[in-house]
Amino acid sequence: MSQMPSIEIQLMTTFLEQKFEVDESNDIEMYKEFVSNYVKIEQCVAVLSDYRSDCSYIYSGSFGSVFGLPNENSVIDSAFEECIFTKINENDLIERHVLELNFYQFLKGIPQEEYNNYSTSSRLRMKDSVEKCSYINHRTIYLKTFNNGSISLALCLYLPATDLQPRNGIDGKIFNIKTGEVIEAEKYKNNAGNILSKREIEVLSSVAKGNKSEQIASEMNISVYTVRRHRQNIIEKLKVTNTAEAVQTAFVMGIIAS
């Protein structure tokens, strides 16, 4: 349970604290029409998130009933669909958030014009549905990027899963929409390590082993003050409140080994 707030906070701050171009159009009305028409055909649930305005447009087809959503369009005052997140298995939700953070880091390593060539794909369990073992398919696509590289609009799709075989994990993938190529996990998990410097990862790995600042300083031949500065930087970069949360978040994101 303690992982959830830190992962969610990092996800939110990653997208909401981007530098947005105030005068640049994000073509929101065009995308709203596209998404609305798609949902009418697919009868799925689609969430069009506007990070610059911190709001979301939720389009609900008949499948929206599994989330308790009315069969109509709505707007919420958040770029993150908490009304849907609360209906998803908590462990799967953490993995979904981590996959999106890794997706974001992966995209930052490729040309900006290629961003919308990629999507995530995962299979999520519904919360409190162990007996029925119901699953949903989830995808994330970034639709609009400003000239400075900030991602303005994201589309999340929720559809019924046809694969109902019980197993652990969300089968999370990043893939190229044009070619069908699935990106090897090592490529984007390594990108997650870019959040922290090499030295910060070394310090956090040592903290995860239970070592105190004085012991870490001695092992690394640096001052205790430097270790404490690294620890503070780690907390700030991972958007957590303490090093215990930092260790948990880094484990989940694959920044340090468990």
| Residue 191 pLDDT | 59
- Spatial CB neighbours of 132, under 8 Å, sequence gap ≥ 6: 126
| Residue 250 pLDDT | 84
- Each residue of 3-48: pLDDT tens digit? 445 788 888 988 999 999 888 998 999 999 999 999 999 999 999 9
- Each residue of 37-79: pLDDT tens digit? 999 999 999 999 999 999 999 999 999 999 999 888 999 999 9
| Residue 138 pLDDT | 98
| Residue 129 pLDDT | 54
* Positions in the chain whose pLDDT score sits under 70: 1-5, 128-133, 188-193, 258
| Residue 91 pLDDT | 86
| Residue 4 pLDDT | 47
| Residue 114 pLDDT | 93
| pTM more than 0.85 | no
| Residue 232 pLDDT | 93
